Amino acid sequence: MKSAATMQSSGRIDDLLPSILRHENVSRVSDEGIYILDRRLLPFERKEVFCPTWRECVSAIKNMVTQGGGPLEVALNAIIHTSRTAPGELKEAVEALSLSRPTNTTMKREIAAVYSGYERGGDIERLCMEVFNRYDRYYDLMSDIGESLINDGDGILTRCFPEHTFMLSCAKARRNGKRIRVYVPETRPYLQGAHLTEPCLREMGIECFLITDAMPSHFMREGKINLYMTAADLAFQSGIVVNKTGTLSDAVSALHYGIPYYAFSVSPSDSSEDIVIEYREGNDVRRIGNVQIASEDATALYPCFDIIDPEFVSGIITPEGIYEGNSRWNRNR
Amino acid sequence: MKSAATMQSSGRIDDLLPSILRHENVSRVSDEGIYILDRRLLPFERKEVFCPTWRECVSAIKNMVTQGGGPLEVALNAIIHTSRTAPGELKEAVEALSLSRPTNTTMKREIAAVYSGYERGGDIERLCMEVFNRYDRYYDLMSDIGESLINDGDGILTRCFPEHTFMLSCAKARRNGKRIRVYVPETRPYLQGAHLTEPCLREMGIECFLITDAMPSHFMREGKINLYMTAADLAFQSGIVVNKTGTLSDAVSALHYGIPYYAFSVSPSDSSEDIVIEYREGNDVRRIGNVQIASEDATALYPCFDIIDPEFVSGIITPEGIYEGNSRWNRNR
């Protein structure tokens, strides 16, 4: 059985995406349950985590089997599967999935809207497919804008795994004959830069350099980086961006060296009162995979996200255009 | 046989130092050869590399068995041993040791002076001991200044392994009743923060937090860090500091958040024309120890050092006082 998403995707962006971002390789649903590509094992092993019910999907999302836009696709597939096999559990499933990663408010909002449409009599599978297709359109529109900000010869810094919008922006820039190179910080502790971003860009034939997390300023000072672009775990109309720890450090240096910083966000929220910064276990810092890199007795801190204040943000790229926020935010650019 | 250094050290600073910085635990010389504590194995294993002659010392320094102030101590012990066993090779030994790490100009300068004193008829062992003792005095003086810049309640950021001067500054601050906490970035790719700095501070009873390399700005924004102090691989009277990659990123953020940055340097050079930035192998970025963290096909860049321009440097702490450089350098503070 094909993935629910694949059945209706337009295919327009699929040809440009690296393989792990195509719907069927993020998560797929079958009669038996939900399959999720385990991003934690990439690039060395390609293996799916099988979830018989939404309950295992909640655990998988909590355990970082997938991240970024992945949890939304998993949640939609979990809802489709639950509606087919245990419709009485739908409300409980939606609530538990919503809470599986506190910072992922996009997933929370979209599945709440799906459930609310269902309560008003909508067909739940159709409502889920509409979300899949709408996001494909968003990515296409946002990457058109991203591409327009890239110049021939640019050295672009990113951080963590910037997913569809950034990858498509680079792919389109390349298709338009722009020569670019991308600097990719490895992004400890989970190493999404080393494990996901660098292999994707290489697969796409884009010149890229893997660096450690503290090196971006080095290459900014040397004039080798002249554009900074990331995804956003959260963004706000006030101009605040919330993204993987390290983004603030890059953004402060970018402002100092006159390098514009753009974040991609489908829908910046109008209130920034609900910023919840997850702290994860110190073990994630003391270990790399199963390898101990520090003493068990070391006290380690791991705040997952940085809050990047508006003064550092040149613009938030949305499907409707570049959001430039309030006057305070525009002051520095 | 005791270490040459230990025989004459004053003992004044030894009581305050963490164990791995005491002379006999850095490197020691015996009739058979030179022993070097292998810092690459710390904190999990305490093992010495044995070097029968100066030639193996050159390789050990190149292979990062020790770093920071370690190569100077190894070079002095290698010269002492060569003068006892193969005095005819002294000139060749000094030249090869000088070239073993291009950025370590302090070692280069000190052993050149020792050799020049020897050529003028000096006793080479006495000349070497004078260097050991002089550095102990330097560390004592510099850490008095470092201590004076620390306030009760301070959150202090460091980077890499800041060795004697920083450790002694913290020890003296603590002895004087100041409560401090230190934030220690793990410092990829060699993880000196996780392997050396954090265990030393913990051994000394100082509260410290291990973080990943991209997190300092996060804690600066939260107001938890209010002082930044590092060693300096090189420093110049123009106000330029050269130190482990990542120091620039921290220093840019420190300036932005109004946090003073001080670097320790025994003798800032008067000319910055000879800055040589080592690039090490991409393999060091693609691997952590023996663990592969990125594809072998990834192109990885590893510049060892950052150049920190004077605008970011509040002062360079030397044995003679805080060096504040030229007027351009003072402009921003």
pLDDT digits (tens, 9 = 90+) for A65-120: 998 899 999 999 999 999 999 999 999 999 999 999 877 778 999 999 999 999 99
Once rounded to an integer, what is the mean pLDDT over residues A144-168? 97
- CA pair distance A81, A269, nearest whole angstrom: 29
Q: Considering only A57-61, A123-127, A226-230, B283-287, which range has the smallest mean pLDDT?
A: B283-287
CB contact under 8 A, A214 and B188: yes
Q: Give strand pairing partners of B22.
A: none
Distance from CA of A260 to the nearest CA of B (A): 16
CA distances from B216 to A21, A113, A219, B87 (A): 31, 38, 18, 49
- CA pair distance B332, B310, nearest whole angstrom: 9
Out of A202, A249, A289, whose CB is closest to B253?
A: A249
Q: Give strand pairing partners of A227.
A: A156
In this predicted structure, what is the pLDDT of residue B13? 86
In this predicted structure, what is the pLDDT of residue A104? 74
Instruction: Please check the confidence at residue B196 and state whether its pLDDT lies above 60.
Output: yes
Instruction: Please check the confidence at residue A329 and state whether its pLDDT lies above 50.
Output: no
Q: Is A258 left (phi over 0), alpha (psi -120 to 50) or beta?
A: left
- CA pair distance A24, A144, nearest whole angstrom: 24
ipTM: 0.89
CB contact under 8 A, B186 and A245: no
Spatial strand order in the sheet of A27-29: A27-29, A34-37, A48-51
Helix (H) or strand (E) holding A172: helix A163-175
- CA pair distance A186, B285, nearest whole angstrom: 9
CB contact under 8 A, B294 and A210: yes
Once rounded to an integer, what is the mean pLDDT over residues A208-222? 97
Out of A187, A285, A288, whose CB is closest to B211?
A: A285
CB contact under 8 A, B210 and A299: yes
- Find, in chain A, the residue whose alpha carbon is nearest to that of B287: A194
CB contact under 8 A, B194 and A293: yes
Helix (H) or strand (E) holding A93: helix A90-98
In this predicted structure, what is the pLDDT of residue A328? 38
pLDDT digits over A137-151, tens only? 999 999 999 999 999
All residues of chain B having their beta carbon less than 8 Å from the beta carbon of residue A210 are 282, 285-286, 294, 298-301
Distance from CA of B56 to the nearest CA of A (A): 28
- CA pair distance A64, B16, nearest whole angstrom: 44
pLDDT digits over A15-49, tens only? 899 999 999 999 999 999 999 999 989 999 999 99
Helix (H) or strand (E) holding A170: helix A163-175
- CA pair distance A172, A310, nearest whole angstrom: 28
User: Is residue A112 exposed (0-12), middle (13-18) or buried (19+ Cβ within 10 Å)?
Assistant: middle
User: pLDDT confidence of A272, banded at 50, 70, 90?
Assistant: low
User: Is residue B133 exposed (0-12), middle (13-18) or buried (19+ Cβ within 10 Å)?
Assistant: middle
All residues of chain B having their beta carbon less than 8 Å from the beta carbon of residue A249 are 214-218, 249, 253
Once rounded to an integer, what is the mean pLDDT over residues B42-60? 96
Q: Is A2 left (phi over 0), alpha (psi -120 to 50) or beta?
A: beta
Average per-residue pLDDT in chain A? 91
In this predicted structure, what is the pLDDT of residue B327? 39
All residues of chain A having their beta carbon less than 8 Å from the beta carbon of residue B44 are 292
Q: Give strand pairing partners of B307.
A: B242
User: pLDDT confidence of B3, banded at 50, 70, 90?
Assistant: very low
Average per-residue pLDDT in chain B? 91
| Helix axes A247-256 and B247-256, enclosed angle (nearest 10) | 70
- CA pair distance B185, B216, nearest whole angstrom: 7
Cβ pairs bridging A and B (under 8 Å): 181
Of B12 and B72, the structure prediction assigns the larger pLDDT to B72
- What are φ and ψ of residue B157, in 5° steps? -95, 140
What are the structure tokens assigned to B248, written together?
Answer: 């620039």
User: Where do we find the tokens 């073993």?
Assistant: B100
- Find, in chain B, the residue whose alpha carbon is nearest to that of A41: B293
Q: Give strand pairing partners of B234.
A: B242
Q: Give strand pairing partners of A182.
A: A156, A208
In this predicted structure, what is the pLDDT of residue A291? 85
The three-class DSSP label of residue B265 is coil
- CA pair distance A198, B152, nearest whole angstrom: 44
Out of B188, B300, B307, whose CB is closest to A188?
A: B188
Contact call for residues A314 and A320 (beta carbons, < 8 A): no
Contact call for residues A135 and A72 (beta carbons, < 8 A): yes
In this predicted structure, what is the pLDDT of residue B325? 56
β-pair type (B155-157, B181-185): parallel
CB contact under 8 A, B252 and A248: no
Helix (H) or strand (E) holding A254: helix A247-256
- CA pair distance B39, B195, nearest whole angstrom: 8
- Catalytic residues of B, by residue number, are 233
- Closest of B69, B262, B257, B230 to residue B148, by C-alpha: B262
β-pair type (B315-318, B261-264): parallel
CB contact under 8 A, B245 and A212: yes
Q: Give this prediction's pTM.
A: 0.90
pLDDT digits over B267-316, tens only? 888 876 668 788 888 999 999 877 899 999 999 999 999 999 999 999 99
In this predicted structure, what is the pLDDT of residue B6? 38
Q: For a pLDDT cut of 90, what percent of chain B falls above it?
A: 80
In this predicted structure, what is the pLDDT of residue B277? 84
Cα of first residue to Cα of last residue in chain A, in angstroms, is 51
The three-class DSSP label of residue A314 is coil
Best mutation target among B188, B200, B296 (most A Cβ atoms within 10 Å) is: B188
Distance from CA of B261 to the nearest CA of A (A): 16
In this predicted structure, what is the pLDDT of residue A332? 35
Out of A216, A291, A309, whose CB is closest to B288?
A: A291
User: pLDDT confidence of A274, banded at 50, 70, 90?
Assistant: low
Q: In this structure, is the dihedral angle defined by the CA atoms of residues B91, B92, B95 and B101, taken in order, positive or negative?
A: negative
Q: Report H helices in B52-185.
A: 54-62, 70-85, 90-98, 105-119, 124-148, 163-175
CB contact under 8 A, A285 and B210: yes
| Helix axes A124-148 and A105-119, enclosed angle (nearest 10) | 140
CB contact under 8 A, B293 and A248: no
All residues of chain B having their beta carbon less than 8 Å from the beta carbon of residue A185 are 214
- CA pair distance A261, A249, nearest whole angstrom: 12
- Closest of B234, B292, B297 to residue B264, by C-alpha: B234
- CA pair distance B36, A37, nearest whole angstrom: 47
Instruction: Please check the confidence at residue B331 and state whether its pLDDT lies above 70.
Output: no
What are the structure tokens assigned to B313, written together?
Answer: 């440097």
User: Is residue B21 exposed (0-12), middle (13-18) or buried (19+ Cβ within 10 Å)?
Assistant: buried
The three-class DSSP label of residue B202 is helix
The three-class DSSP label of residue B24 is helix
Instruction: Please check the confidence at residue B332 and state whether its pLDDT lies above 50.
Output: no
- Closest of B270, B254, B262 to residue B232, by C-alpha: B262
All residues of chain B having their beta carbon less than 8 Å from the beta carbon of residue A221 are 248, 306-307, 309
In this predicted structure, what is the pLDDT of residue B148? 96
- Closest of A292, A284, A301 to residue B291, by C-alpha: A292
Distance from CA of B138 to the nearest CA of A (A): 30
- CA pair distance B148, B314, nearest whole angstrom: 14
β-pair type (A291-292, B27-29): unpaired
Nearest 5°: the CA angle B110, B113, B116 is 155
Once rounded to an integer, what is the mean pLDDT over residues B111-126? 97
User: pLDDT confidence of B9, banded at 50, 70, 90?
Assistant: very low
What are the structure tokens assigned to B186, written together?
Answer: 């793990």
CB contact under 8 A, A215 and B294: no
